[in-house]
Chain A
Amino acid sequence: MSEKEKLYKAIERAGLGDGLIGRSHGLILEALTTGDFCKSEIFDKVKGKNYLTAPQQVIRATDQLVEIGAVKAVGKRKTEYAEIGEEEEVYSITDRGRILLEDLRAKFSTFER
């Protein structure tokens, strides 16, 4: 099975088909192509785009990307978001994530709305 097939199988298995992976995930993956970041840092990079106005939306979308193997935790860092924990996980885009990003770029002319 190719990495792409594995990706779409993972999306289906996670119940995230039918448009539930979209622009928000594209924005997060794009941000992670510029470096490894924790969720609060990703939020700072994408806030205001595609109606993303709360850190919890980015937390949720990032967790979905982890679930389908498009991003992975690569370490921990101190955070100001106490409710997340004393340390936040730092994320990196995976090869599968780059495939997904490519597909999302092909699907949407822009991730911003």
Chain B
Amino acid sequence: MTDEWYGWAGTILRVDLTKGTIKKVPLDKDLAYNYVGGRGFNSKILFDEVKPGTDPFGPDNLLIFSTGPCTGTSIPNNGRYTVSTLSWVTGGLGDANSGGYFGQAMKYAGYDAIVVKGVSKKPVYLFIEDDTVELRDASHLWGKDVWETTEILMRDHSNKGMSVAAIGQAGENVVAAAAIMNDYSRAAAKAGVGAIMGSKKLKAISAYGESGIRVYDPEEVYKSTIEYIELIAETDKWWFETFSKYGTPMFVDQYQHLGALPTYNWKEGSFEHADKLGITPLYEKYVKKKRGCGGCMYHCSPWFRIDEGPFKGWVGEGVEYEAMTGFGSKLGCDNLEVALVGGSLCDMYGLDYISAAEVMGWAWECYNEGILTKEDTDGLDLSWGNDSVIHEVLRRLANREGKLGELLALGSRKASERIGGKAKYFSMTIKGQQMGSMDPRVLKAWGFGYGVSTRGGDHLRTHLVCEYMFTPEEMEKYVGDARASDRFTITEAKADLVRWTENVRFLNDALETCKYINRGSPRSYVEFPYRWLTATTGKSYTYEGLQTIADRVLTIERAFNVVRGMGRKDDYLPDRYYDETLSTGTGKGQRVSRELYDKLLDRYYEIRGWDKEGKPKRSHLEKVGLKYVADELEKLGCLGKEAS
């Protein structure tokens, strides 16, 4: 770490896999101060350096790993990092965020970001240990799963303290659902980032460092941290207690109650056997202890062991709602053990639970509708509720094995385009990205947030839990309209809510704090990020100033997509949510109105400073400090119309 920086380490690693070179580049002050870190760094670098027409698998695509200025400090839940790239899944911006310890290890070694370009001729891994940074041969690791790779690297370097981010078979085989896994079970999961890493023949990055992080005002860092923990413990009591106790598996019960639990590939929002998948059986029988990521105050990650039956002896960590619904209700299955083991297999193969389960949900529905047959599935029976084939399908998916493995490896949008006809209707994607698991028909703002997300269908851009957790009084004060609290009804207030949450959630991705630290308490979103950033970096930030930075980054991400031909047409939900009304659960009778959704889009574009086609206008771009982006969009004929 250089002496002039507080919060930031001050150095970016530039790795060229084609040339086999590594450069240590001083962190640019404009990038640091005006884009903060994490996703902010990545989106700016991607727009500037990955030009339209770039092949996602070519040497000019970048794979960027970034930490934030709070990473490695004592700010709560600071153990995250973001990976970004030009996604082959969406054809536009792709990014993924992960917890664990890898971000902290990068930072302690002295690096804010690692920018990887080029394609290696042979498998390599990047070894980082403080000042020592080297590309090393990974031939012996190729073909190994994530857990084996991690163990081998730790053993070979006699360092149990290192953090390893690696791809498994899924990344090597360039599978759309491929994630980059770190610390065994933490996933940078979205956008097929693992496939891009695999295409570059980069098997892993190992990181270890012993440098500290200098913070500008240690007393204020400490004081604001204590105040924050007290705020959550005292004013967000229910959340603090239940999430600490159960972790994300509690959402199986919660979303079942809300009618938002994806069931039978999103045909329904409640599952008749949800009680077999929820926290009662999970905690009565399987969970033995909990773990947390770096700096975590919740420890939401359950560690489980199966003591009897066909999976006797199986242990795993990081049991997630997404695996329990993904390999449960989405496929019509009620076998919790199959879901638990399925989640662990994803960790080993390096698969994103969500994308893997989503493409399987698509295949299951196609099979049950007679669109796919046993000839397409290599003889496997994909009937709803048949849990006996789930693990085998995951294995074939990760290895691109057989007809079914090849098909599913494409992701559901590309696979459905190959099959054609009604298969497209069953592909539940936005911009090609498969979605997280809360039904948009009963959480209307959250659903709208899926639609306009700059990385495609995704629950985390907004992570819009405040739609059902803020009181209407809090919604009125902080978002400006109490109507946004009505989760069933679309009003223009939903567009304002989505913009607000996109901005405050961006700050999680820039500071690299976990999104679970903000939940029901509006003050936690508003009062702390600027205090933490100011105390950590010594630069003066305000809430309003951070809103402008968020507007800047959301707009540069939009511009990245717009120059690749994306626009309004790509901001809609899958047809099922408009056409099919939920027939069970507390969401019975709910669907999304196309007409009202269109009005929401108009309102959202207006408050974002984009035209009716969703293209950023020069006036807005200049207002948020992106004149050079306006010039670039104008040159490419992609600038928004001012009068629109």
Q: Which residues of A contact B (CB under 8 A)?
A: 14-15, 18-25, 50-57, 59-61, 63-64, 67, 81-85, 113
Cβ 8 A contact of B486, one of A22, A24, A53, A82: A53
List which B449-491 residues lie within 8 A (CB) of chain A: 467-477, 482-488
Give the residues in chain B near A19, CB-CB below 8 Å: 473, 476-477
Bound CA span A52–B257, Å? 15
Bound CA span A55–B520, Å? 13
CB-based contact A60/B520 at 8 Å: yes
**B253 in the interface, Cβ–Cβ < 8 Å?**
yes
CB-based contact B242/A84 at 8 Å: yes
User: Given contacts A19-B477, A82-B278, A82-B280, is CB(A57)–CB(B523) below 8 Å?
Assistant: no
Give the residues in chain B near A85, CB-CB below 8 Å: 242
Bound CA span A8–B459, Å? 39
* 23 sampled A-B residue pairs with Cβ under 8 A: A20-B477, A23-B473, A24-B471, A24-B473, A25-B471, A50-B472, A51-B486, A52-B485, A53-B485, A54-B468, A54-B469, A54-B487, A56-B520, A57-B468, A57-B470, A57-B485, A60-B469, A60-B471, A81-B253, A82-B253, A83-B246, A83-B250, A83-B254
Give the residues in chain A near B477, CB-CB below 8 Å: 18-20
User: Which chain A residue shows the least CB distance to B527?
Assistant: A15
User: Given contacts A14-B235, A19-B477, is CB(A56)–CB(B472) below 8 Å?
Assistant: no
**B30 in the interface, Cβ–Cβ < 8 Å?**
no
Chain A binding surface, main DSSP class: loop
Cβ 8 A contact of B238, one of A51, A53, A59: A59
User: Given contacts A14-B235, A21-B473, is CB(A53)–CB(B242) below 8 Å?
Assistant: no
**B234 in the interface, Cβ–Cβ < 8 Å?**
yes
Count chain B CB atoms within 10 A of each CB in A19, A21, A59 and give the residue with the most.
Answer: A59
Chain B binding surface, main DSSP class: helix
CB-based contact A83/B473 at 8 Å: no
Cβ 8 A contact of A53, one of B235, B250, B280, B487: B487
CB-based contact B234/A67 at 8 Å: yes
CB-based contact A24/B257 at 8 Å: no
CB-based contact A53/B488 at 8 Å: yes
User: Given contacts A23-B473, A83-B253, is CB(A113)–CB(B482) below 8 Å?
Assistant: yes
Kindly supply a per-residue 1/0 record for chain B positions 497-526, scoring 1 wherever the CB is within 8 Å of any chain A CB and 0 otherwise: 000000000000000000000001001000
CB-based contact A61/B279 at 8 Å: no
Top 8 nearest A-B pairs (CB, nearest first) are: A54-B468, A51-B486, A51-B485, A22-B473, A83-B250, A51-B472, A53-B487, A82-B253
**B24 in the interface, Cβ–Cβ < 8 Å?**
no
Bound CA span A60–B520, Å? 8
CB-based contact B237/A63 at 8 Å: yes
**B258 in the interface, Cβ–Cβ < 8 Å?**
yes
CB-based contact B257/A81 at 8 Å: yes
CB-based contact A22/B250 at 8 Å: no
Q: How far is the CB of B270 from chain A (nearest CB, A)?
A: 13
Give the residues in chain B near A63, CB-CB below 8 Å: 235, 237-238
Cβ 8 A contact of A83, one of B242, B467, B482, B520: B242
Give the residues in chain A near B258, CB-CB below 8 Å: 54
